[in-house]
Amino acid sequence: MKYGSNVLAALGKVDGNGPCAIIVRHAARHPIKDIWHSLEVGLTEEGMNDARQFGASLIAFRQVRLFHSPAVRCRQTAERMMHGLEGNGTSVAVIGEARDLCAPYLKDEACLGRAAEAGKDFIREWFDGKLDRRWILDTSSAADMVMASIIARLSEPGGNGRLDIHVSHDWEISLLREELFGLRHEDVGWPQYLDGILFWTDGTHINAAYGQHEVLFSFEDGRRGRCGTR
């Protein structure tokens, strides 16, 4: 498997004890030639294989639930992960499409035009407050919006030994890395395929981990509260 090893290593922090959740970028995709039709772009054969192998590596959890953005590549990633999980004694299901995993913070499609022009610099313009607020939420509000459903699912019944996988996009991973850990993509690189962030709860706080970086914070009514480092 070419990608995903960092997320798998992070899952060692919980060692199969749930509830916990990860948000990951989809597996390797074909090139996006037109941002206006980007949701239609699917996985390469390499991406299909990596997603299946990623799923096959998740042997510590009793139950795995998969959620994915509306993009074809995210659905394919979730489905291939499920195929990799089948047969290892884990209860696994693709729950389905989740709109909040695909830029729910966009207010106007005009923002996509700017993203196509700016490329990866779009993220820096966003964090620096240079984008029209009629187009997109501020980064703090956007990060909370992405995390809200992920964190809400952690408290659902039957969480012992459960892992939720949320298949999303590079924008979401870049957003959460910088909002939670202060990690700029200019410093740590653009999120790779199957790169992602781990979340779990100690009953009082939400814990988040990315590589060797960890933070904990409260989260109430869809907003982060007190934060700290571990």
In which band, very low, low, confident or very high, does the pLDDT at 226 lie, cut at 50, 70 and 90? Answer: low
Picking from 121, 122, 116, 19, the residue whose alpha carbon sits closest to that of residue 63 is: 19
Question: Taking all residues of the chain, what is their mean pLDDT, rounded to a whole number?
Answer: 93
Picking from 43, 83, 42, 45, the residue whose alpha carbon sits closest to that of residue 64 is: 83
Angle between the 170-181 and 139-154 helix axes, to the nearest 10 degrees? 100
Q: Please report the pLDDT score of residue 198 as a whole number.
A: 98
By the 8 A CB rule, do 35 and 115 touch? yes
β-pairing verdict for 162-168 and 20-25: parallel
CA atoms within 13 A on the CB side of 96: 0
Please state, in angstroms and rounded to a whole number, the distance separating the CA atoms of residues 200 and 198.
Answer: 7
pTM for the model stands at 0.95
What pLDDT digit, counting tens, does each position of 30-89 carry?
A: 999 888 899 999 999 999 999 999 999 999 999 999 999 999 999 999 999 999 999 888
Q: Which residues contact 88 (CB under 8 A, 6 or more apart)?
A: 56, 58, 59
Please state, in angstroms and rounded to a whole number, the distance separating the CA atoms of residues 83 and 123.
Answer: 34
Q: For the chain, give the percent of residues with pLDDT over 90.
A: 83
What's the rounded mean pLDDT across residues 195-218? 93
| Domains (range + CATH), the chain | 5-101+148-229 (3.40.50.1240)
What pLDDT digit, counting tens, does each position of 81-93 carry?
A: 999 999 888 999 9
What pLDDT digit, counting tens, does each position of 125-174 carry?
A: 999 999 999 999 999 999 999 999 999 999 899 899 999 999 999 999 99
**AA identity, residue 93:** A
In which band, very low, low, confident or very high, does the pLDDT at 2 lie, cut at 50, 70 and 90? Answer: confident
